[in-house]
Amino acid sequence: MNYAMALDYQNCINCKACEIACKEENGVQLGADKQRIWIGVVEGEVFGKPFTNFYPSQCNHCLDAPCVDVCPTNASHFSKGGIVKVDPHKCILCKGCMEACPYDARFVDDTMVAVDKCTFCDHRIEETGMTACQATCPTKVRMFGDLDDENSDLVKLLKARKFFFQKEKEKTLPKLFYLVPEDEAYAKQSISHSATIHTWESFKPLYDTVKARRSKQWKNA
């Protein structure tokens, strides 16, 4: 298993239902910057015509996660299916993982005095097959699934659509797949010039190589 998520971000309406669902499902600490998932908002203009883009985001559960490498006590670790998690009982609050994360996906949970982050709702995925944020999204932005299962809805979607990643240049091999919008104008206004557009065929071999190396660290619990 190799869990990942695709984001059809063109459909995002910034209702923040996913943020609420996440907080409620996982008992996330209350506070403006205490979020496991969020919607990034970017405003701009093209030839005087204003636009707003929404980028739903969270921990990218990178295959080559630097946050795991820097953790002195292995509190940050790969769990089953390559999910990057934090064991709060082992966290010494050095905050190295927060510095290492290219996505600002971690924060300190003051109720546990430890770093907290998205877990892909791993406590419920076996039962429901989806995360709370996916379940609640009214416009079906999110698609959670297993990259190793060629018949999964996620892989079928990735085979059908092109995608790109946030901050690919950091070489962490993230697993949040941003689907290239079908609307050309929206694609132009929302995809950075530096982003590389991938297809399933072009991306799969790279991920398989890194997974073979990194999956030795994946724990079963």
Partner 1 sequence: MEKCLICGLEINKIPLFKLLFNKTMFVAYILILAGFFGIYEVIGERYFSVVANAHASGIDPTNPALIEAMKNAVFGHVGEVTREVPWTLFIVNYMYMIYTGSGIIFLVALAELLNIKVIAKTAAAFMTLGLAFVFAGLFTIATDLNILNMLWMFKDPNFGAGMWLMLPLYSIYIPFVLFEIYLLITNKKELVKKVSFAILVLSIVVDIVEFYIQAKLFSMNTSRHLWTEFPILTLYFIISAFVASLGVMGIFSALIYRNLPNYHELIEVIRKALLFFISVLALYEIIAYLYVDKEWAFLMLFGPFKYAFFGGYILLTMTIPFLLIFKESKNTLTIIASVCVAIGAYVGRYLFVYGGNANPMTNRFGVGFEKYDIYDISNSYNYVAPHMGEILIVIGSFGIMIFIYKFLDEVFDVSKVREH
Q: Site residues (CB under 8 A) for partner 1?
A: 23-24, 26-35, 38, 40-43, 52, 55, 57, 66, 69-75, 89-96, 98-111, 113-114, 167, 170-172
Instruction: Give least dist CB 104 to partner 1, A.
Output: 4
Query: Residue 57's closest CA among 6, 11, 2?
Result: 6
- Segment (H or E) for 214: helix 200-214
Q: Residue 101 or 125: which CB sits closer to partner 1?
A: 101
Q: Residue 123 or 159: which CB sits closer to partner 1?
A: 123
Instruction: Give least dist CB 145 to partner 1, A.
Output: 24
Q: Residue 102 or 181: which CB sits closer to partner 1?
A: 102
Instruction: Give least dist CB 34 to partner 1, A.
Output: 7
* Single-letter amino acid code for the residue at 114: A
Please, which residues have CB within 8 angstroms of residue 170's CB and are 6 or more apart in sequence?
102
Q: Residue 84 or 155: which CB sits closer to partner 1?
A: 84
Q: Phi/psi class of residue 177: alpha, beta or left (left: φ > 0; alpha: ψ in -120 to 50)?
A: beta
Please, which residues have CB within 8 angstroms of residue 42's CB and are 6 or more apart in sequence?
52, 53, 55, 190
